[in-house]
Amino acid sequence: MPELLELYRAFYEEAVYKDFLEYDEERVDATIFAGIINDQRPHILAIVDESIVGFISYWFDRTFSKEPCMVLLEFYVHPDFRRSALGRGLLGLAIQEGQREGAKAFHAPVASGMKEVRSLVNMFMKAGFSPFGVMMRRGL
């Protein structure tokens, strides 16, 4: 868990969340740990030389349909391993898990403020994703 939480902190530092929200390490720890234990927030980890260098997490939304819709929660690869096969591998494994669970769609929201957004969008497009809607935000 500590290694995964370090990556979550790095993800938060790169994301646009910090413009409006204060990081809460205890809440991250509790949320991620509980989500993994009860299988509501599955994680797939990229491990190199016994260190976690990336992860993808998701959930299955069953609110409106008989089949689940897979929804991306977080996706992060350490900067030293970007533009390698790790990101594509994590995404490919997540897609396989969605198919195994019977999901009929995979929604992947991508925040536009991140430095790597262009590369991330290209990776999703190459994996067969297409633009779907718009993500909106407002500070309160």
- CATH code of the domain occupying 2-126: 3.40.630.30
All structural domains of the chain with their residue ranges:
2-126
Alpha helix segments (H runs only) across 15-76: 25-37
Structure tokens at 66: 């008989």
- By CB neighbour count within 10 A (0-12 exposed, 13-18 middle, 19+ buried), where does 75 fall? buried
Using an 8 Å Cβ cutoff, are 5 and 30 in contact? no
Separation of alpha carbons 70 and 73, rounded Å: 10
Question: Which range is least confidently modeled, 18-22, 27-31, 40-44?
Answer: 18-22
Question: 111 pLDDT exceeds 90?
Answer: no
Question: 4 pLDDT exceeds 90?
Answer: yes
Question: 97 pLDDT exceeds 90?
Answer: yes
